[in-house]
Amino acid sequence: MVWSVPASFVDAKSPGQQRAWALDLPRRAGELAARWGLRPDGPAWHGWVGVAWPARDRDDRPVVLKISWVEDGSQHEGRALQLWDGRGMVRCFATDVEQAACVIERLDAERDLTREPIDDACVAIGTILGQATQVPAPAWAAPVVTEALASIAVIERRRSDVLPARCIDAALETLHAVADEPTVAHRLLPRDLHYLNVLHALPGDERTWVGI
């Protein structure tokens, strides 16, 4: 069975360790697939740091095998998804921390929030965050308060005329309120929840929008 990697993903990597890792992904994917009982079920997708292959497991369940470049906590993605256990975020059935690899449930890859009305998209992300942040942050993950304070520092450092000052001030006020709120300050927070990382659930799922 072939676990091919899109040429566009390999071409985007600078020569060196990342390019070598990208070229080695078919082998890594094949070994993980053999371990987890997966078979390919369509062409791969990719973002900037990883590749995702649609697959079927031993029970013919539609899943996705995902492998990411190991950096900035990416190796813990599967562990975090397992802690969320479907609460706003995609379910994870298996994970390999050292390789930043995991097997996740299949969603509708053709439908994300970019084509939804902005009010609906904001409600979807807010709902996901409300569910995901019910989970306490484990020792290996940055809690909400850490992420909020880091965001405050970035916004303060990069103030510009691109956005009105009132919008920036409102964002900072919200972040300070979150950091100071004891009921959420030490909860587990999805770090990359933009419109492309929220997909529609497959038919039969009681959920509508799910974070990945």
In the chain (212 residues long), the average pLDDT of successive 10-residue segments reads 88 87 95 97 90 96 94 83 96 95 96 94 92 88 80 80 79 84 80 90 92 94
Spatial separation of the C-alpha atoms in residues 187 and 130, rounded to whole Å? 11
Spatial separation of the C-alpha atoms in residues 54 and 38, rounded to whole Å? 10
Spatial separation of the C-alpha atoms in residues 102 and 38, rounded to whole Å? 12
Check residue 54 and give its pLDDT.
97
Report strand pairing: 209-211 vs 198-200: antiparallel
Check residue 48 and give its pLDDT.
83
**Max Cα-Cα span within the chain:** 55
